[in-house]
Structure 1
Amino acid sequence: MKIVMIGPMPPPIGGISIHIKRVVQRLKEKGIACDVYNESHVLISQEGVYPIGSYKNFALKIPFMKGDLFHFHSISRTVRILLGFYKICGKKIILTVHGESLMDQIRSSNPIIRMMLLTSLRSIDHIVCVNEDNTNKLLALGFAHHKVTTIPSYIQPMESGDDDVTIANEVFDFIADSNFVITANGYIRFYQGQDLYGVDLLIDLLKELRIRKRGVRILFALLGVSSQNVEEQQYYEVLKIRIREYGLEDDFLFYEVENTELYPLVNKSHLFIRPTVTDGYGVSIAEALHSAIPSIASDVCMRPEGTNLFQSRNVEDLLLKVEEIMEHYSEHKQRVMSLSMRDYTTDLLDMYQQITGQLDLESKVIIDECN
Structure 2
Amino acid sequence: MTSQHETRVLLVGDYPPPNGGVATHVEELFRAVRGRGGVCEVLDIGKGQLPAAGVIPAGSVPRFSALLGSYAARGFRIHVHTSGSNPKSWMLAQACAAAGRVSGGALITLHSGLGPAWLLAKRSRRTMAKAVLAQFARVIAVSGEIRDALAQCGVAGVDVVPAFSHEFIKPGPPPEALATLRAGASPLYCAMIAPRPEYGQGILLRAFADVRVKIPAAALALYGPGSDSVREDGVHPFGELHRSQALAVMAACDIFVRPTLADGDSVSVREALALGRRVVATSVGHRPPGVRLVPPGDARALADALIASSAEPAGSPEATGPDGLERILSLYGVTACAASAAS
Q: TM-score range by the shorter chain?
A: 0.7 to 0.9
- Would you say the 8 A contact 1:14–1:223 is kept in 2? no
The aligned counterpart of 1:175 is: 182
CA RMSD of aligned residues (A): 2.6
Instruction: Please state how far the C-alpha of 1:11 moved relative to its aligned partner.
Output: 1.2
Matched, 1:347 2:322: no
- Would you say the 8 A contact 1:130–1:280 is kept in 2? yes
- Would you say the 8 A contact 1:31–1:360 is kept in 2? no
Matched to 1:50, the amino acid is I
The aligned counterpart of 1:252 is: 235
Instruction: Find the residue that maps to 2:195 and give its secondary structure.
Output: coil
How far apart in 2 are the matches of 1:259 and 1:338? 24
Q: Which structure is higher in helix share? A: 1
How far apart in 1 are the matches of 2:265 and 2:113? 10
How far apart in 2 are the matches of 1:62 and 1:340? 35
How far apart in 2 are the matches of 1:119 and 1:153? 25
Instruction: Please state how far the C-alpha of 1:154 moved relative to its aligned partner.
Output: 1.0
Matched to 1:80, the amino acid is A
Matched, 1:100 2:113: yes
Q: Deviations over 1:293-318 (max 9, x none)?
A: 01011001111222111111122222
Matched, 1:72 2:75: no
Q: Normalization by structure 1: what TM-score?
A: 0.79
User: Structure 1 residues 342, 164: closer, same or farther in 2, change over 3 A?
Assistant: farther
How far apart in 2 are the matches of 1:110 and 1:40? 29
Q: Deviations over 1:326-345 (max 9, x none)?
A: 22224xx2xx4354654321
- Would you say the 8 A contact 2:265–2:287 is kept in 1? yes
Match of 1:121 among 121, 133, 154: 133
Match of 1:132 among 144, 159, 163: 144
User: Structure 1 residues 55, 84: closer, same or farther in 2, change over 3 A?
Assistant: same
- Would you say the 8 A contact 2:13–2:82 is kept in 1? yes
Matched, 1:204 2:185: no
The aligned counterpart of 2:220 is: 218
Instruction: Please state how far the C-alpha of 1:87 moved relative to its aligned partner.
Output: 4.1
- Would you say the 8 A contact 2:79–2:106 is kept in 1? yes
User: Structure 1 residues 131, 315: closer, same or farther in 2, change over 3 A?
Assistant: same
User: Structure 1 residues 36, 87: closer, same or farther in 2, change over 3 A?
Assistant: closer
Percentage of pairs with the same residue: 19
How far apart in 2 are the matches of 1:204 and 1:43? 35
The aligned counterpart of 2:86 is: none
Number of residue equivalences = 324
- Would you say the 8 A contact 1:8–1:39 is kept in 2? yes
User: Structure 1 residues 117, 144: closer, same or farther in 2, change over 3 A?
Assistant: closer
- Would you say the 8 A contact 2:143–2:161 is kept in 1? yes
Instruction: Please state how far the C-alpha of 1:200 moved relative to its aligned partner.
Output: 1.5
Instruction: Please state how far the C-alpha of 1:285 moved relative to its aligned partner.
Output: 0.7
How far apart in 2 are the matches of 1:270 and 1:349? 34
- Would you say the 8 A contact 1:13–1:259 is kept in 2? yes
Matched to 2:295, the amino acid is Q
Instruction: Find the residue that maps to 2:25 and give its secondary structure.
Output: helix
How far apart in 1 are the matches of 2:260 and 2:325? 25
Instruction: Find the residue that maps to 1:201 and give its secondary structure.
Output: helix
Matched, 1:12 2:18: yes
The aligned counterpart of 1:232 is: none
Task: Give ranges in structure 2 of 5+ residues lacking alignment.
Answer: 1-6, 84-88, 339-343
User: Structure 1 residues 258, 287: closer, same or farther in 2, change over 3 A?
Assistant: closer
- Would you say the 8 A contact 1:96–1:127 is kept in 2? yes
Matched to 1:305, the amino acid is P
Task: Give ranges in structure 1 of 5+ residues lacking alignment.
Answer: 191-195, 227-235, 354-358, 364-371
Compare CA radii of gyration and give the structure with the larger one.
Answer: 1
Match of 2:298 among 309, 314, 320: 314
Instruction: Please state how far the C-alpha of 1:84 moved relative to its aligned partner.
Output: 3.6
Instruction: Find the residue that maps to 2:79 and give its secondary structure.
Output: strand
Match of 1:151 among 156, 161, 165: 161
User: Structure 1 residues 351, 100: closer, same or farther in 2, change over 3 A?
Assistant: same
Matched, 1:85 2:98: yes
How far apart in 2 are the matches of 1:295 and 1:77? 33
Instruction: Please state how far the C-alpha of 1:361 moved relative to its aligned partner.
Output: 7.3
The aligned counterpart of 1:299 is: 283
Match of 1:32 among 11, 26, 38: 38
